[in-house]
Amino acid sequence: MFFIALLSGVVLMIPYDVNHPYRSVSQMLLANPYASWIRNIHYYSSQFFLVLLLLHLYEHFRKKQAVRLKQGIWLRLTPGLPVLFLVMFTGFLLRGDADTIQARHLVEQLTGEIPLVGNLLAFSIFGQQGSLQLIYINHAAVFSIISLIFIFEHSRKLWPELKTFVFAVIIVFAAGYYFSAPLHDNVHPVVKGPWYFLGLQNLLYRLSHPQWLLVIITGVLVLVYVAGLKTYRLYFSARKILLILMALYGLLTIDGLFFRGENWHSVYPWQKNYHYQVFGAYHFSKTDISSAKYAADILKTPPINGRQESCMVCHKKVKGFTASHNPETTGCFSCHGGNPFSTDKTSAHKNLILIPGNLSNAKRTCGTAGCHPEIVERTNKGLMATLSGMINVDRFVFNEQDTPDGMTTPAGLHHSPADEHLKNLCVRCHLGNEKHVTGAVTEESRGGGCVACHLNYDEQSLKAHAEYQQTGLLPDNEFHPSVDLKVTNDHCFGCHSRSGRISTNYEGWHETTLKPADVTGKKGFRLVEGTRVFRYVADDVHHAAGLECIDCHTSYELMGDGKHYQHQEDQQDVACTDCHTVTPDTINPLRLDGESAVIAGLRFGNITNRKFIRTKKHKTPLINTFVKNDSVFLIGKNSGKIHFAKPPATTCRRDNAHKTVSCSACHSGWAPTCIGCHNQYDPEEPGYNMLLNREQRGSWVEYTGEYNSLPPTLGVRTAGNEREIIPVIPGMVLTIDLHSYDKHLPDSLVFHRLFAPAAPHTTVTRGRSCKSCHNNPLALGYGKGTLTYKVTGNKGKWHFEPFYTSNENDGLPEDAWIPFLGSRTGKVSTRTNVVPLTVSRQKKMLTVGACLTCHDEKSEVIEQTLTDFSAVIKRKKAACVLPF
């Protein structure tokens, strides 16, 4: 074996380039099959040699007789052992890949720890940092010759027996033909030494002071020497210890080889992605003699990560990328995986990732080191991935937990009624939902991880994709969809046109219970997903101005900021008053965080002289804003259009009346409402498991009530001593038939009257009128109806006539949150910190409402009430009759 290694090594010196080691080895693998085969032969012959050497030692150690060699020879052979390991290890280092660079650091430093001669020895073996010249010489000449001398002295033979040699040649040539010698792809995060040093790597993992390893190695060498002595008691004990040590080292090696992944963390076969985590850095394939024809093409491909990769030999015409994802700089392998060192289609496409960016593979595609690891880490904690709020509120509504708060993920769903409900009707929208089919984003798109937002098809890539779908072959001119920052409203639409319906509200569309046939040919309606009928109401003022979702929402809101949040409003960072302000909080470009600076630079070029707004809540820079002459401007991220952000009106800035009223409570034109929903489980219903993405028999069915677009109700959000009036909508006025799912459950029918905080995204420039809150039963929480103020003599009294009949479960009108001039406690909303207006606050509001029954809201006296209500009341005329 040693001879084969020696001979193949000499031949290997021709294609090997010590100045570009990794690149030259990758070129052998890709386009020089004969050199690759020789390299494989060199590798396997040396590994077999080492295995045979270890077996030979084992054989020696288990013998009870003394060795027949002279003591002097044995004494020389003992230090020869580390030399043999050095010839192996220096050969390993010549790969020049990620493994070997780290291994060199490690062994070089460890050698330097040897007292007195360490540094000299390290320099003599490894030479200058960053250069492999001396290592190459040591491997190819110095250590090989020394090893040869030891072997000769030990065996007293120069040439092997012909039969043995032929047998060894057949074995090694076959192994070299069928299995390529390992080469790290320099993308996978695992770093491991050669297999015979994995035991040492494992031992070092347990040693804070690695100098102990030197003591252990010295001890082992002493034992090896003693094992060759003639005194029975001595050599027998030494051999026994050595056998035990060999067994222990074997166990450490097995652990290192099969059960250690990234950062030397333990990984076991029953864990997800075990094979990738442990062995993913290496790509074994058969020697492909026909690959020689690609030699010229390979040399034309750009070097990526210090090596060549095969993809662009076939996909040479691929285009459609932005500069940051150009395969000439990033390669194809870093996103799509596969085998970068093979030009054979089947082998190159083994373990190919068709859709990189799915959260299941994002860590090894978009999130590899050097790309976006920190973003992938954050995204998995963000609400779009965890759905924490959605899951906990649903369980709360199903009476499965006492509060709507908690941290969870879709992976934590089990088989309770609420979890089944979520699986049937809700969780398709989580970002981790796998995208399996290529193609552009549509209204029906859900999930897909990174590509849910960052993939864009243009006309040419759509055409190419259509051709690919028809023929199953990639067209000559491969137009790849662009991976970029152009996140449009369409990317958000699929998920955000449901539940709170923010996307549709923003564009002015309100969902109805009409059927498509009801509106055929009618103006002012649109179909979503072909079946849902929406009626146009009025779009958000920002939408009318051309602003898109990402013009307000930052990367830290959308991809998470690394923290776990329970509900949407917790993760939400940007607020109206960040831009609509007279006292902007600014940040200069030098203080921007890396991500904001990179995105700002990519979007807007030179940002040196800009002053950016930052959010008041989390201090996040809004990179598409700038402040000039104390005015705030916002630039459309996709459109480039500059918008002036009007400062808030004087009414909004006044620090007395309405100071606790949120912007959206006043400036939301309308909000979608839904009342009278009934939920029942039908075991025969053709259903769907959104977690597993498969059809099933049996599903929860929602029998919806009435959909309306109405001004939102007012609620109170508390945070410590702070109170804020916010818009709320009847989120869950519903019944759930639990016994339809499981007859053994303690509750049969659950009824709830829960309102939910809303972000309607239907902003209007002019806020609500005074009467729209103070004289409006809907705003106060009583539901739709007639609210009249009647004065009899010197007594005034409010009367309320509800529009809807009373619900049999609680006696309140169907759409009410609270009784007229009453209150509710306990389960009232989908948040623990959102409650209805108190009776005292209702009375205060209705007192103003009483004034508004006579006085115009623009009258002087009403204006005065905004400054000092009590003073105005004190000087009221006798004709003014107040209700309370």
Provide the binding-site residues for another protein, judged by CB under 8 A: 101-102, 105-106, 108-110, 112, 118-119, 122-123, 129, 189-191, 201, 204-210, 262-265, 369-370, 373-374, 377, 562, 589-594, 596-598
Complex with another protein: residue 104 or 532, whichever CB lies closer:
104
Which CB atom, from 377 or from 467, has the smaller least distance to another protein?
377
Per-residue CA distances from 685 to 692, 697, 739 (Å):
18, 6, 16
Smallest distance, another protein to C-beta of residue 443, A = 36
Token pair belonging to 357: 């960016």
| Nearest Cα residue to 309 out of 23, 38, 36, 17 | 23
Q: How far is the CB of 107 from another protein (least distance, A)?
A: 9
Closer residue to another protein (CB): 110 or 348: 110
Nearer Cβ to another protein, position 29 or 600? Answer: 600
Taking the complex as a whole, the smallest distance from the CB of residue 559 to another protein amounts, in Å, to 15
First to last CA, the chain: 103
Residue 212 vs 232, nearer CB to another protein: 212
d(CA 551, CA 645): 12
Q: What is the DSSP string of 734-752?
A: EEEEGGGT-TTSS-SEEEE
> In angstroms, rounded to a whole number, what is the distance separating the alpha carbons of residues 98 and 68?
44
Strands of 550-664, DSSP E: 586-587, 612-614, 621-622, 625-628, 631-635, 642-645
Q: How many residues does the chain have?
A: 884
Q: Are 794 and 881 in contact (CB under 8 A)?
A: yes
Residue 321 CB partners (closer than 8 Å, separation 6+): 327, 480, 482, 483
Q: How far is the CB of 61 from another protein (least distance, A)?
A: 30
Q: Which is nearer to another protein, 190 or 547 (CB)?
A: 190
How far apart CA 350 and CA 280 sit, in angstroms, is 12
| CB 384, min distance to another protein, A | 19
- 189: exposed, middle or buried (C-beta count within 10 Å: 0-12, 13-18, 19+)? middle
Provide, rounded to whole angstroms, the least separation between the CB of residue 372 and another protein.
Answer: 12
Q: For another protein, give the closer residue by CB, 199 or 727.
A: 199
Nearest alpha-carbon partner for 493 in 448, 452, 451, 435: 452
User: Rounded to the nearest whole angstrom, what is the least distance from the CB of residue 140 to another protein in the complex?
Assistant: 24
Bridge partners (DSSP) of residue 147 are none
Q: Do 427 and 413 touch, CB atoms closer than 8 A?
A: yes
Q: Smallest distance from the beta carbon of 389 to another protein, in angstroms? A: 23
Cα distance between residue 696 and residue 685, in whole Å: 9
Closest contact distance (angstroms) between CB of 186 and another protein is: 11
Q: How far is the CB of 369 from another protein (least distance, A)?
A: 6
Q: Which is nearer to another protein, 19 or 109 (CB)?
A: 109
Q: Provide the CB-side half-sphere exposure for 170 (13 A, CA).
A: 5
Q: What gap in Å lies between CA 197 and CA 252, rounded to an integer?
A: 10
Q: Judged by CB, which is closer to another protein: 119, or 838? A: 119
Between 167 and 212, CB nearer to another protein: 212
Closest CB to another protein among 443 and 561?
A: 561
The total of other beta-carbon atoms located within 10 Å of residue 629's CB is 5
82 vs 562 by CB, closer to another protein: 562
Shortest separation between residue 122's beta carbon and another protein, angstroms = 5
| 574 or 592: CB nearest another protein | 592
Q: Which is nearer to another protein, 28 or 267 (CB)?
A: 267
Residues 6+ apart with CB under 8 A from 176: 37, 38, 39, 40, 41, 43, 44, 287
Closest approach of Cβ 295 to another protein, in Å? 32
What gap in Å lies between CA 413 and CA 691, rounded to an integer? Answer: 9
> Shortest gap between Cβ of 603 and another protein (angstroms)?
14
Degrees (nearest 5) of the Cα angle 556, 558, 560?
A: 50
Supply the minimum distance, in Å, between the C-beta of residue 192 and another protein: 9
Q: In 3-state terms, what secondary structure has residue 519?
A: helix
207 or 642: CB nearest another protein: 207
User: For another protein, which is the closer residue by CB, 206 or 272?
Assistant: 206
Q: Which residues contact 862 (CB under 8 A, 6 or more apart)?
A: 770, 851, 852, 855, 856
User: Least CB distance from residue 213 to another protein, whole Å?
Assistant: 9
Distance CA 139, CA 121 (A): 15
* Closest distance of CB 498 from another protein, Å: 32
Q: Calculate helix-pair angle for 33-62, 21-31, nearest 10 degrees.
A: 110
Closer residue to another protein in complex, CB, 211/660: 211
Identify which of 490, 485, 502, 390 has the alpha carbon closest to the alpha carbon of residue 444: 490
- Tell me, what DSSP letter sits at residue 231? -
Report the alpha-carbon distance of residue 419 to residue 410 in Å, rounded: 9
- Angle among Cα 499, 502, 506 to the nearest 5 degrees reads 150
Long-range CB contact pairs, 844-848, < 8 A, 24+: 845/773, 845/774, 845/780, 846/774, 846/780, 846/798, 846/821, 846/883, 846/884, 847/882, 847/883, 847/884, 848/770, 848/774
Beta carbon of residue 359, minimum distance to another protein (angstroms, whole number)? 16
